[in-house]
Structure 1
């Protein structure tokens, strides 16, 4: 991509990786700190809106609404920008049918009386602002379970991979039956850049499109010399899996999580 760009939330997991990629491409993204008055005073170019709360949203409900919806609304109302890519979540599909991959236009099951749904409702409102109040310049990226392997990267699989560097025998606080749709951080960055360069991408599922169980991941670890055990045995129903047809149409083919994990472990095992 070329031209001015802004990353709101550049200190976060996805925002930091996007910032590093764009700088490596010779760009100089504007990365405003929280409350920076320049955000509404300068030409922002293409805005990647990566700000939001995840693990602590329930303890900080008002900050969640501010980050997910109020600030995007203020940018829509007063900001100067060319494109706006809003980072949302495939968690919006929770509670729906899981039999078939879920397309972006599927109806959402949102419950205003459910405290946990402050996350879902505020993300949905942020999407609505981006898609309907930005004169066709907004788009929404619904991210699935993003993982990396650096120390401090959030999420169950990220922590599992980081721990794998410390020893070959690991006991995990989960069940082998739990399944998730994982996508590596690098593929997410590819997707966001592709969305910024596409004409009116709308909503795009940024996921691998495949549910992978902890047991399947443990088999990859075992084949590479690790011993994995789980403390739990819960067998929850599988979550909805995202359809990734729109993502592939943008030229982004997310790598299968088992292949990515296998490559990481093989590299980690080399002397």
Structure 2
């Protein structure tokens, strides 16, 4: 299926790759610049809401609220869209006590914790998307997205980018920290699948399993890299997010270790060429 798509946050990590893919598939893609209010006076088709702050949310709390809530509220009021897909995060599960959660689990937050500005603002953006769009809204809760394109954000992305430069890797983390990873291309496939079904409610866009840094480091060691960690802490793992709804849409994310293994093989082949 192709059609009209509007991408908010098209210059960001996910939005940029999504725009490339949609354009290649023949979609008519509108990617307004930040602050461009002309989008409210036009038909927007399927809106992919990729705007947001992640790494610097604690330093910019008010910008975080504006990015996660204010614009989506304006979109909901404008109403000139077929579907609104709001990108959220599985880190909303981090403060929950359960070992495993699906999309139906109630979310609990401590409003006195300043670090919950991110979670609370994303949750409010989800609420507006799901309850104020006359049934046309859906939420994609993304796990830790990774890639190796230049300046790709996130711990694993930075690790992979550094691996192309040197075989001696010193990482400011612990081998015991575990996360749910999903490759950027699988995220893009999931967002397009959500628009084509179309999906409703919340969909966990995640790998569906937790992988420790040490497990990934073993792949590097087997491939000829040396990896050391600066810390040796063992924090409680976050809840595992279930991805059954994502797989029901026809998207089965590649396991992170398979993706990393293929990437390292490609680096070795290029070094021998």
- State TM-score, norm by structure 1: 0.98
How far 1:79 sits from its partner (Å)?
3.7
5 Å-filtered alignment, 1:8-47, equals: 8-47=8-47
Q: CA deviation at 1:200?
A: 3.9
Structure 1 segments (4+ residues) deviating >3 Å: none
1:6 aligns with 2:6: yes
Aligned partners of 2:140 and 2:203 also within 8 Å = yes
Q: Contact 1:145 / 1:180 at 8 angstroms: preserved in 2?
A: yes
**Is this contact kept in 2: 1:147–1:184, CA < 8 A?**
yes
Cα distance between partner residues in 2 of 1:159 and 1:195: 28
Q: Is the 8 A contact 1:98 1:238 kept in 2?
A: no
**1:37 Cα shift?**
2.2
Q: Which residue of 2 aligns with 1:80?
A: 80
Residue in structure 1 matched with residue 162 of structure 2 by the alignment: 163
Distance 2:223 2:26 in 1: 38
Q: Pairwise mapping of residues 141-156 of structure 1 onto structure 2 (< 5 A)?
A: 141-156=140-155
1:62 shift after superposition: 1.3
Residue of structure 2 in register with 1:201 after alignment = 200
Equivalent positions of 1:59-70 (< 5 A) are 59-70=59-70
Distance 2:199 2:249 in 1: 11
Check the 8 A contact 1:188/1:206 in 2, yes or no. yes
1:112 Cα deviation from its structure 2 partner: 1.2
**Retained in 1: the 8 A contact 2:135–2:200?**
no
Aligned runs of 1:1-271 on 2, under 5 Å?
1-99=1-99, 101-270=100-269, 271=273
SS, match of residue 51 in structure 2 = coil
- Tell me how many residue pairs correspond in the alignment: 270
1:10 Cα deviation after fit: 0.2
Of residues 210-219 and 28-37 in structure 1, the stretch that sits farther from structure 2 once superposed is 28-37
1:88-145 residue CA offsets vs partner (Å, 9 max, x unmatched): 000110111242x210011112111111111111100000111000000000000000
Give the structure-2-normalised TM-score.
0.97
Q: For the Cα contact (< 8 Å) 2:144–2:182, is it kept in 1?
A: yes
How far apart in 2 are the matches of 1:96 and 1:193?
29
Tell me the CA shift for residue 151 of structure 1: 1.7
In 1, are the aligned partners of 2:2 and 2:25 still within 8 Å (CA)?
Answer: no
User: Any stretches of 5+ residues in structure 2 without a counterpart?
Assistant: none
Distance in 2, matches of 1:138 and 1:150, equals: 30
CA distance in 1, matches of 2:229, 2:119: 30
Q: Give the Å deviation of 1:29.
A: 0.8
Aligned partners of 2:203 and 2:37: how far apart in 1? Answer: 30
